[in-house]
């Protein structure tokens, strides 16, 4: 009843204020004078940028702890911070649909360089409409090339290595005076990624089973690079609801292939994964797409490498 009494421009102005103020948890970090300020869109990019940037860069992650990136949109303060930064690093491949409008909203005097860090990766294209009944906003049919590109590049250490190199190159270009430090720290990150890659290749080559059922279609790069096949309950977005017939087919697959675990992830609901597991008489287990940290992950000092190592151990257990 209160809104009906608002006349003229009052309602539009109120709505604009609400949109600009944002809601929910805030991103972390503030601009620091005298350093290269790097703004990242979500966790894996933040970790690599922070490791490679070291003491020479100030890295700010927009995505708060415990928030799933598919569901997040930036706040007005995020636009202000990014306008003052030197680098804005985003994944691309359709993950951050808000980026084009976000960049348009930056201060007209901003000199921030926007870098798509997944450039150079051999993208996996998928027509998820064939397998799931997904729509765009207001129920409209989804369209556009980005909707058919799997954006979860970082889930494979092979792709993460390309992303790390792109991040290093952007830092060197923005701050050539500290090139040596960026190169040295990148070398250490690259060594760890190569070692992780070797572990995945070696260990997953030994497992007799290669089929995994996951809650969210986020593991195509990992599966391609290490010889696995994923079957997803939901599509590229964890909000995409499956049809009843999809769940029936997955239940049949689980029984036929003697799959012993349904994988779920901690930043989205595990309801469908547990429903499918109960229907088929199997157990559930975490397979983390490392899109962000939970508060527990942060308290445990987990990072990309520790979470990916846990993924590997869980895959070995599930597929042996």
* β partners of residue 116: 90
CATH of domain 26-132+145-193: 3.40.50.1980
Highest mean pLDDT among 128-137, 173-182, 266-275: 173-182
Spatial CA neighbour of 221 closest among 290, 136, 173, 316: 290
As given in the structure block, the two tokens for residue 317 are 């257990």
Count of C-beta atoms within a 10 Å radius of residue 62: 28
* β partners of residue 213: 231, 262
- The pTM score is 0.85
pLDDT for position 126? 81
Residue 61, pLDDT > 90, answer yes
Looking at per-residue confidence, does 244 or 251 come out higher?
Answer: 251
Looking at per-residue confidence, does 145 or 264 come out higher?
Answer: 264
Collapsed DSSP state (helix, strand, coil) of residue 149? strand
Domain regions of the chain by residue span: 26-132+145-193, 208-319
CATH topology of domain 208-319: Rossmann fold (3.40.50)
pLDDT band at 26 (very low <50, low <70, confident <90, very high): low
pLDDT per position as a tens digit, 204-246: 999 999 999 999 899 999 999 999 999 999 877 766 677 788 8
Enumerate residues 6+ apart whose C-beta is below 8 A from 226: 156, 200, 201, 204, 205
Residue 23, pLDDT > 90, answer no
pLDDT for position 17? 38
Looking at per-residue confidence, does 15 or 55 come out higher?
Answer: 55
d(CA 47, CA 163): 11
User: Which backbone phi and psi does 125 adopt, to 5 degrees?
Assistant: -95, 140
pLDDT for position 72? 86
Say if residues 185 and 127 touch (Cβ distance below 8 Å).
Answer: no
Domains 26-132+145-193 and 208-319 share a fold: yes
pLDDT for position 141? 34
Overall average pLDDT of the 111-131 stretch: 84
Spatial CA neighbour of 246 closest among 130, 125, 127: 130
Say if residues 168 and 182 touch (Cβ distance below 8 Å).
Answer: yes
User: Up-side HSE of residue 210: CA atoms within 13 Å toward CB?
Assistant: 12
pLDDT for position 28? 58
């Amino acid at each position: 009843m209160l809104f009906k009494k608002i006349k003229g421009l009052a309602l539009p102005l109120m709505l604009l204020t609400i949109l600009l103020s944002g809601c929910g948890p805030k991103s972390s970090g503030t601009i620091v004078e005298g350093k290269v300020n790097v703004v990242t869109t979500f966790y894996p990019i933040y970790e690599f940028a922070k490791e490679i940037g070291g003491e020479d860069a100030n890295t700010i992650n927009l995505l708060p702890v415990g928030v799933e990136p598919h569901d997040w949109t930036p706040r007005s303060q995020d636009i202000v911070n990014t306008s003052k930064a030197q680098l804005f690093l985003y994944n691309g491949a359709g993950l951050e649909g808000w980026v084009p409008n976000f960049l348009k909203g930056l201060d007209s005097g901003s000199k921030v360089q926007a870098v798509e860090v997944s450039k150079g990766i051999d993208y996996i294209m998928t027509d998820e409409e064939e397998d799931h009944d997904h729509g765009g906003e207001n129920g409209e049919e989804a369209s556009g090339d980005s909707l058919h590109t799997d954006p979860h590049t970082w889930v494979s250490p092979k792709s993460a290595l390309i992303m790390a190199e792109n991040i290093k190159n952007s830092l060197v270009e923005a701050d050539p005076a500290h090139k040596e430090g960026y190169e040295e720290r990148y070398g250490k990150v690259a060594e760890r990624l190569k070692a992780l890659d070797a572990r995945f290749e070696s260990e997953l080559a030994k497992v007799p089973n290669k089929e995994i059922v996951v809650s969210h279609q986020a593991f195509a790069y990992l599966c391609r690079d290490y010889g696995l096949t994923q079957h997803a309950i939901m599509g590229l977005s964890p909000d995409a609801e499956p049809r009843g017939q999809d769940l029936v087919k997955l239940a049949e697959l689980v029984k036929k292939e003697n799959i012993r675990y349904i994988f779920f992830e901690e930043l989205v609901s595990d309801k469908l994964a547990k429903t499918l597991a109960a229907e088929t008489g199997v157990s559930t287990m975490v397979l983390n797409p490392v899109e962000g940290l939970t508060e527990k992950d942060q308290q445990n000092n987990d990072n990309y490498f520790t979470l990916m190592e846990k993924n590997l151990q869980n895959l070995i257990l599930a597929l042996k």
